[in-house]
Amino acid sequence: MKFLQYGIDAPYAVTHLILAGLALMGVGWAMQFVYPVAMTKIGLMITFFIVGAGWSLLYTAALMVFSSCFSKRHLAKKIIAKLQLQGNESILDIGCGSGLFMIEAAKKLSTGKAIGLDCWVKKDQLKNSPYHTLRNIDRENVYDKTALVTGDMRYLPFKDHYFDVIISNLALHNLSSSQARTKVIEEAVRIVKPGGRILFIDFQYTKEYSTELSKILMKNVHRSKLNFIVCPPVRLVSAEVQSPKI
């Protein structure tokens, strides 16, 4: 199914939301049979609250699925278009998963290359595997402009100042400690070229990313407003590396 091509983010979280939503709806429905709950004003209010909470969990799960299947693609197209790539860049997608951002970037390249790095955590994305990403690469006909690397984003296996653009969507927040997230940011700064760009898109910790990037003396560090096109809403943190003075 084409709409599932890029997987579903956080499938366990989506499943938990659906189960909890259905459980609350079930409790709300069963309460009408409990005498005297159904007969009192307070009982009806509690039932209404429980059913409402159930609906909101199911609605959030539906939005998350819709976001993974449709709106995330729109976001990726928009962000990659904004980069105004020349075609000869080397690009790294950290935590590429099924390859959406890497493939979108590769479509804009001629002589350049887009590399995706991931360690393929199943709980972070449905069908997460290099095999699945390679199928997407093949489907989108960008085989000669992409490469996949299996690795941990805290230890990026690339030489210093190698990439023109580093991008990462919804990946860094998966590291639970701020030291680990800072390590990824330091690694990204190490491997980006002078004059290159770094973009982190995430729904958590974006203040931390922009603070860390500013500390490392990146230029034009910018943290966007919340973007509600996807669920959960995300911010884009972008920064440029200072070019050496001639």
Ligand X SMILES: C[S@@+](CC[C@H](N)C(=O)[O-])C[C@H]1O[C@@H](n2cnc3c(N)ncnc32)[C@H](O)[C@@H]1O
Q: What residue ranges bind ligand X (CB under 6 A)? A: 6, 9, 95-98, 100-101, 118-121, 124-125, 128, 152-153, 169-171, 174
Residue nearest to ligand X (CB): 97
Angstrom distance (rounded) from CA 50 to CA 32: 12
CB of 66 to ligand X, least distance (A): 14
Collapsing DSSP states into helix, strand and coil, what is residue 83? coil
Residue 215 burial (CB count, 10 A): 12
Nearer to ligand X, 54 or 99 (CB): 99
What are 104's two structure tokens? 């979108």
CB of 49 to ligand X, least distance (A): 32
Angstrom distance (rounded) from CA 23 to CA 42: 21
How far from the centroid of its chain's Cα atoms is residue 81's Cα? 17
Nearer to ligand X, 54 or 97 (CB): 97
CB of 173 to ligand X, least distance (A): 8
CB of 131 to ligand X, least distance (A): 13
Nearer to ligand X, 169 or 238 (CB): 169
Interior/surface letters 151-177, b for 16+ CB within 10 angstroms, e for the rest: eebeebebeeebbbbbbbbbbbbbbee
Nearer to ligand X, 28 or 95 (CB): 95
